[in-house]
Amino acid sequence: MMTQAKKSFCGNAFLKAALPSYLFPLLSSAIPAYFLDKPDLLKASYTTIAMPSLFATVICFILLWQFQERQIFIINRIVMALVLGITMVLLALGVIYIFKWETGIWNILISSFLGAAIVAMMKPLTKTTIA
């Protein structure tokens, strides 16, 4: 029998976290860009807006899954969201400067933070007890 902790980090749960983390930022920026005839924003919607959110979500999902499995860093979900959000921003800063993507810095940083914070809020860690 699958425990609640295992259910919250299964493949289906991963897809439920990853797909919206790409599609929602993409659509929320691409639709207005299309109607406002802003080709630069349209390109940014699937590159520097949606992709960082997806990457942050995937990394944080894996981290949260490992924290749950190992029963480490079991902290309040708001604190975890802030910690992971800041961690993803710092990671994104490193990637921005390595690849010289300074022109998209704000899109990347905000999307990375939001992707991390949302998955942390949706996947709270719980202490497991041995019965």
Q: 85 is written with which tokens? A: 């959000």
CA 10 to chain centre: 17
Task: Output the average pLDDT for the chain.
Answer: 92
Kindly report the three-state secondary structure assignment for every residue of 29-52.
HHHHHHHCCCHHHHHHHHHHHHHH
pLDDT tens track for 2-16: 566 667 889 999 999
**pLDDT at residue 131 in the model:** 55
1: confidence class by pLDDT, cuts 50, 70, 90: very low
